[in-house]
Each structure stands twice: as C-alpha cells, then as structure tokens.
Structure 1
Amino acid sequence: MATTTQLRRAVASSFLGSVIEYYDFLLYATASAIVFNKVFFSSLDPLVGTIASFGTFATGYLARPLGGVLFGHFGDLLGRKRMLVLTMSLMGVASFLIGLLPIYTQVGWLAPAGLVLLRVLQGVAVGGEWGGAVLMSAEHATSRRGLWASFTNAGAPFGMVLSTLALSTTSALMSEQAFLSWGWRVPFLLSLVLLGVGLFVRLKVEETPVFQAERKRTSAPLLDVLRNHPRTLLLAIGVGLAAFVAQSTLTTFLLAYGVQTGIGRQTVLNAVTISSACAVIGIIGWSATSDRFGRRPVVLAGAVLMAAYGFVLFPLVDNGFVVIALVLGQAAIHPMMYGPLAALYSELFRTGSRYTGASLGYQLAGLGAGLAPLLFAQVQRTAGTGAIPFILAAFCVLTVVCTLLLHETSRTSLTGDGDAERGTGQLATPPRAHGAEA
C-alpha cells in the first residue's frame, strides 16, 4: 500500500511540476511574441524588436542542456527529490522576477539584460526538471512504466493551455494600454502561487527506491555517459529530434504562418489551446500503448505518419482548417513520437548516470524545438513553404533510423548496471537481481 501511495504521489508531483515548469517556460514564449518587443526592446524598429524578443526566447532552449547536465550530475549523486525541489524553486522565482522587471523606458539596457538572465535561469531550471520528474515516476513504478512516466510529458501541453489562457484572459479584461503597462505581469506573478502548491505536493514524495538501492554510484555521471554510452546518447538524441521539430512546427511556426495567411490571431491561439488540451490525452494514451506493444513500434509509427502528414499540413491551414490541422498533428500523431520518450530515455541508462544521460539526450534533442522555427522561417523567406514538409520528413527519417538501431527497452529493469547495454543491444530479458552482470 505504501508503494502504491508513493507512486501516486510521485506521478502527481511529476505532472504538477511539469505543468508549472512549462506554464512558466511557455508563458514567456507567448509574451515574447505579443509583449516583450514593446516593453523591453521599445528603442528598436518593431521588426528588429520582435527578432530580439524571439532571440531571448531561444536562449532558454540553449540553456536547457546545461540544466540537464548540472542537475543531472547532482541528481545522480545526491538524489532525484532534492534536485526537483531546487528546479521548481528556481523556475518559480525566475518567472516571478520577470513579472517585477522594470521596462526599457525606466532603466534602459538593464531591462533586456535582466530579461535574458532570467530566461537563462528558466532554461536551466526546465532542463533539470524533466529528467528528475520522469525518474521519480519511472523508478517508483513496478509496472506500466510507460503510462506513469508519461504524465511528465503530458504536463507540457497542459502548461501551454494554462499559460495561453492566463495571458489571453488578462489581455481581454483590460485595455491594450493597461495590458502593456502592468497587466502582462499578472500571469508571471501568479508563478509564486503555483510554486507554493507544487512544493507542497513535491515534498511529500519519498526518494525513489531504485536510487536508494543503488550501490555503484559514480563520481562523474557525465563522464560515464560520454565514455561508456556515447552511442546510446547519440541514438537517444536522434530518436527524439523529429518529435521536437514537429512540436515547434505545430505550436510555433504554424501559429505565425496561420496569421500570415489571414487567419485571426485569436483563432490560431484557440486552435493551439484546443489541440494542446487534446494532446494531454494523446500522450498518456500512446504511452500506455507502448507498455503493451513496445516503445519502438509506437515511435516508429508516429515518425512515419508525421513524415506523411507534413505534406497536408500547410494545405489544411491554407484552406482555413487550422483547428483540424493542429488537433490531428499535435494531439493524434505527435504524441506517438513524444509520449513514449519519457520511459524510453529512462530505460537507456544505468541508475548511477540515468538522470544525467536521460536529461542530456532529451534536452539536446529539444534544441530542435528552439531552432526549427528559425530554420523554417528562413526557408519560407527564400523558397516558400513547399520545402518545409521535405525537411520535416528528413528529421522523421532520422528518427526512424535511430529507433531501428535501438532495441526494445520496455521490458528493461531499472535496477542493476547492465541496463544501458540491454537497451541498445539485444532484446531486454526479464529483470535480474540487483547488481547482476549483463
């Protein structure tokens, strides 16, 4: 009974923590598109100000691998729970401080400099959060690991729903002048309330039994991953890359494209909100499916379908079917690639370096989400949108190849030091006694 209670607490903590982290992280994304260019870069030409605003947005993605390595290192040495308390606190405080920042007309260049610094801290926090949250669920689970670990990934689109609603509701309740003056700060200041709720839940979760039982901890988890499992790390990055490229295509680039074609901004935002809410169900559902049929078949099917879907995505938007385009893409197809990653990444690395390896693989793959919109914007500028489906398909082919090179991990035990070898070599065998050699 105690084990079941701790599993439920761990899953609830991981989901809520992910919701809060991505509420803060993605709230910045929305604000960078409609607010920050006007209040932090007001001295620049409007177009240049928008580019500068999106540049600060990108710094968050670039900082995420750093957070994965930093918190992964100490998470593998000191425990998952301690690091998750720190990552949640760091994110909540950084977001709260964004809501207090003076604007450019008040302090000049110090305003955008402070914004960049806090955005980097956000990136470090979310980079450290994901791996620990996944492991808290996966290492507490004794079965259906794909289902329980997926709640961390499901928290991301739910955080997007909350952040979009918070900013759009605040905007709708006041004049544009009031919104630009102080209203935009309200959703950021609410981060402190969410932080209090999240810490209350998270502090009730015990350290994972897998970590507590581990007796062969390495003093340098990053070196262990790079020296003993470089192939595993590279394949992990390749497996997840297409999922992140598709994610940013659907939730960032397509939003801007829809507005360019004449679709109302609110209509596009509503489509993103609806599809994100549906994606929560899709992620959990496909992850549970991967427990039955394996991680590889689900990810492979998703990559193949996404490669094909890219060729109908823009025609759907051009004909006004933006809601259908986003719901099919973000809530039905994309979760097939993205949902099983939580369990899969945790099954690829041994306990002593699992936090570091899973975080680094996931966050390096996540760079695709930060860079793809910039790549696609340049492609659209020079060659139109016709080439974008081919680029998306190429990333999907890379995911297919890397997934095929990985062998099934769903039956891999998370105890013992042979996990990484079994995850990338032969098919997993039934769990062995802790400490047994591969």
Structure 2
Amino acid sequence: MADSKSLRRLLVSALSASTLEWYDFFIYGTAAALVFNKVFFPEVSPIVGTIAAFATFGVGFLFRPLGGIIFGHYGDRLGRKSMLVVAMLVMGVATFLIGLIPSYAQIGIAAPVILLVLRAVQGIAVGGQYGGAMLIVTENAPSNRRGLFGSFAQVGPSLAVILSNIVFLVVVASMSTEALQSWGWRIPFLLSAIVVALGLYIQITIEDSDEFKQLQARAAEQKSADVPVRSRSPIVTALREHPREVLQAAGMILVVQVYYYILTVFLVSFATEAGVSKSTALWVVLLSSAVTVASIPMFALVSDKVGRKRVLVIAAVATTASAFPFVMLVGTGSIWLMLVAGLLAGVTLGALYGPMAAFYYEMFPAEVRYSGASLGYQLGAVLGGGFAPLIATSLFAWTGTVLSVGAYVTAAGLLSIWAVGSARETYRPAAASRSEETVDVSSI
C-alpha cells in the first residue's frame, strides 16, 4: 500500500483527472442547452434545434461502452495509470478541436457531422477514464477508508459541472448574445488544452496501483516458471464469469445518470425557455452541484462504517421518491423553487453516487476489475444519461407537462432500487485485518 505522501498525490491526481475530464464532457451539454441549436442547427425551429443538439449530446454516451471495453481490456493488461493518461489526452484533443469547428453558416452540413464525430471520440475517452481514476485510488486505499478514498474520483463530475458553469457564466456575462453564438462559446472548449498538460503530469509523477503491480508480478513468476497461463480477454472473462455483477453495476448507476443529466442539462434548457436568464439557470445547477460535492464524500464515509448496500438502498429509494417533487418544483418556473429542486436532487444523488466507487471495486476481482466496472458503469450511462435530456425534452413537448419527466426518472429509480437490492453486500469490516500495511490516514 502507498505511503501517506504517495496517497495524497494519488488522491489529488485522481480528483484533478476526473474533474477536468468531465469538464470537457459537460461543457458540451451546457453549450448544447444554450447555443448549439443556433450554431449548428439554425435551419429548424428552436424546439427541434434543441432536440437535435441534445441528440448530438447523447451520441457521446453511445460510444462510452466502447471506451469502457477498449480501456478496460488494456487497463487490466497494461495498467490503470497508463489508460487513464491516454483517455485524458484523447479527451483533451477532441474537446479542443470542437472549439475550432466552423459553424453551419460557414460550412453547412459538414459542421454538425464533424461535431458528431468529435462527440463520439469524447464518449470513447470518458468511457475509459472512469475505471482508471476510480481504481487508482481504491486499489491503493486503506481497506477501512475505501469508500472515502473512492469518493475522490466520484466528486470529479460534480466539480466539473461547477467548473464548466463558472466558465460559461463568465463568458455569458462578458459578451453579447451575438458574440456568444458567434465565437464566445468556443472559449470553454479551447481551455481543454489544460487536460492534456495534466495527463502528462500524471504520467510523470504517479505510479500504478499496488494491487495491479502484484498481479503483474504473479504473471511474471508464472511465465518464468513455464506455468501454463490461460490468456483470455479481461472483458470476455468479466462477461462470462461476472454477468450478474455487470448488470447490477449498470442498473445501480441508471437513475444517477438519468436524474443528473436532467438536472444539469434539461433544467438549463427548460429554465431559459421559461424566461429565466442563462446566468441564473447556470447558478441553479452550480449550487446544486456544490451540494452534491459535499454529500458524496459524506455518504461514502458512512458506507465505510455501516456498509455499502445499506447506504445505497436508502439513497436509491430517497432519490426515486424525490423525482416528482423535483419536476413539480421545476415546472413552477420560479427560480427559487427551481433552486430548491436542484438542492434536493443534489443531496440524494450525492448519497447514491458517493459509495459507488468502493462498491464497484469490491464487486469484481482485480484481474477483470477495470473491464467489469467500466463496462457496467458505461452501460448504465448509455441507457440512462446519454439521451435523458432528449427524452425529457421530447416527453415535455409531447405531453405538455413536466410530470411525464418525473415518471421517466421514477422508472429509472425503480430499476436502480432493484439492482442495488439484488446485489450482495461487498463491504467486510474484517477486511482491515487482511495482510495490508497500515497507513496513517489522518495525515492525508
């Protein structure tokens, strides 16, 4: 196990990598809600343009399972750190290039086509990032603090929403609507060059997880002793030997994905259409994400004391129960009630998402952990989050009521309750007695 100084470096690196990687992924959603309908789909009505923009947002999710498969395979073979770095470099370059795409007015249909291709590349990259960031901390964490340490990778997406919204708030406040649609929206994308620099820093300064290095050492010993070793793809092994766990991992993240993207993307679009200013809508999402940032480590720490499943079951029920109150508050069009809705969602989602990294770690053996966790997470993402803003917008346009959106979130929540309820408890208090070195976590 890593010493305190190395753990601090790992935690900071995982948090930074997760935050900036998701920043790149999330600014697309904010841009889709605010300007992409006019920049890339100006020839259609505003509502159709918004739906088209959200459809391109969803394309990234379609490719996330592919990223999970590719990076999971090599992450279980070559190492967690190396795949995390590659994912960051791919994401940084793709996002930077989105900021350079000419508009529809300049190159016609080629503009949204290029946008779709680069969004697909973003999806592949973020599909591989989660497993690397999550495992590099959980595999090095003290066994009695695995939930808390894993939450550092979980906090990244919410911090990314805060960061992306701050960037857009500055951009929106500093220029006219015409300038924003013309060139201002490019600034948040071009800032993604920072992600490339961070990826190179991580490559140089941190080491792979101890658990993975032990796997490599055992494999080397078997090879030197001429012991026959069955060579099978880690992703095939995960699907063949742990199909139930993969499905449970996908199911438990489902409502988080649906709810979160309705909160961070659909709410912004709905609020601005209802006459709320862009800046105010972004502030609602920002404050909601701040609550999530606080609740994620808090409930992860609770799971270190009472067990993962107990926390996750209660959180899944609370999240599902909050769906209709959330949409009814949003549907009032009142900015203050929208804020209450955002804070409600922020607490429940943080409670559910917080312990999940440790739960995923404990669900799969080390040799297929990157593959199993990544595939399960990304399947839940593509089924849940990818087209949640599109589905929510379409449901509202079709029914004329936000209650249909509440029914959508509730259905996802019921599936997540089943997934968590059917999973076995993975936390073992006696795990602290395993043959691990004791680390003074108070200094971390």
The correspondence of residues 12-411 of structure 1 with structure 2, limited to 5 A, is: 12-143=12-143, 144-214=145-215, 215=218, 218-317=231-330, 318=332, 320=334, 321-330=337-346, 332-367=347-382, 368-383=384-399, 384-411=401-428
Which has the higher mean CA deviation after the structures are superposed, 72-81 or 367-376? 367-376
Q: Are 1:6 and 1:140, in contact at CA under 8 Å, matched by a contact in 2?
A: no
**Structure 1: stretches of 5+ with no match in the other structure:** 413-427
RMSD value, Cα = 2.2
Which residue identity does 2:57 align to in structure 1? F
- Structure-2 separation of matches of 1:171 and 1:200: 31
1:2 offset after TM fit, Å? Answer: 5.4
- Structure-1 separation of matches of 2:182 and 2:393: 30
- Structure-2 separation of matches of 1:311 and 1:44: 32
- Structure-1 separation of matches of 2:333 and 2:183: 38
Which residue identity does 1:409 align to in structure 2? T
1:397 offset after TM fit, Å? Answer: 2.5
- Structure-1 separation of matches of 2:82 and 2:402: 46
Which has the higher mean CA deviation after the structures are superposed, 400-409 or 371-380? 371-380
TM-score (norm 2): 0.88
Q: Are 1:9 and 1:201, in contact at CA under 8 Å, matched by a contact in 2?
A: no
1:36 offset after TM fit, Å? Answer: 2.0
Residues 314/33 of structure 1: CA separation in 2 closer, same or farther (3 Å cut): closer
| Paired-residue identity, % | 42
Q: Are 2:55 and 2:390, in contact at CA under 8 Å, matched by a contact in 1?
A: no
Residues 380/179 of structure 1: CA separation in 2 closer, same or farther (3 Å cut): closer
Residues 91/319 of structure 1: CA separation in 2 closer, same or farther (3 Å cut): closer
Residues 252/193 of structure 1: CA separation in 2 closer, same or farther (3 Å cut): closer
Please list every run of at least 4 consecutive aligned residues from structure 1 whose deviation after the TM superposition is greater than 4 angstroms.
428-434
1:307 offset after TM fit, Å? Answer: 2.1
The DSSP-based 3-state class of the residue aligned with 2:324 is: helix
Q: Are 2:155 and 2:293, in contact at CA under 8 Å, matched by a contact in 1?
A: yes
Q: Are 1:13 and 1:198, in contact at CA under 8 Å, matched by a contact in 2?
A: no
Residues 299/68 of structure 1: CA separation in 2 closer, same or farther (3 Å cut): same
Greater RCO (Cα-Cα under 8 Å, separation 6 or more): 2
The DSSP-based 3-state class of the residue aligned with 1:130 is: helix
1:399 offset after TM fit, Å? Answer: 1.9
Residues 356/134 of structure 1: CA separation in 2 closer, same or farther (3 Å cut): same
**Structure 2: stretches of 5+ with no match in the other structure:** 220-228, 437-444
The DSSP-based 3-state class of the residue aligned with 1:409 is: coil
- Structure-2 separation of matches of 1:256 and 1:189: 23
TM-score (norm 1): 0.89
Aligned length: 418
The DSSP-based 3-state class of the residue aligned with 1:91 is: helix
Q: Are 1:240 and 1:365, in contact at CA under 8 Å, matched by a contact in 2?
A: yes
Q: How big is each residue's C-alpha offset from its partner over 1:274-308, in whole Å with a ceiling of 9 and x where there is no partner?
A: 11122111111111111111111111111111222
The DSSP-based 3-state class of the residue aligned with 1:50 is: helix
Which residue identity does 1:380 align to in structure 2? F
- Structure-2 separation of matches of 1:2 and 1:223: 31
1:49 offset after TM fit, Å? Answer: 2.9
Residues 120/336 of structure 1: CA separation in 2 closer, same or farther (3 Å cut): same
The DSSP-based 3-state class of the residue aligned with 2:63 is: helix
- Structure-2 separation of matches of 1:280 and 1:158: 7
Q: Are 2:64 and 2:123, in contact at CA under 8 Å, matched by a contact in 1?
A: yes
- Structure-2 separation of matches of 1:2 and 1:324: 42
Residues 389/81 of structure 1: CA separation in 2 closer, same or farther (3 Å cut): same
Which has the higher mean CA deviation after the structures are superposed, 49-58 or 403-412? 403-412
- Structure-2 separation of matches of 1:235 and 1:275: 27
Residues 408/377 of structure 1: CA separation in 2 closer, same or farther (3 Å cut): same
- Structure-1 separation of matches of 2:359 and 2:134: 10
Which has the higher mean CA deviation after the structures are superposed, 157-166 or 31-40? 31-40
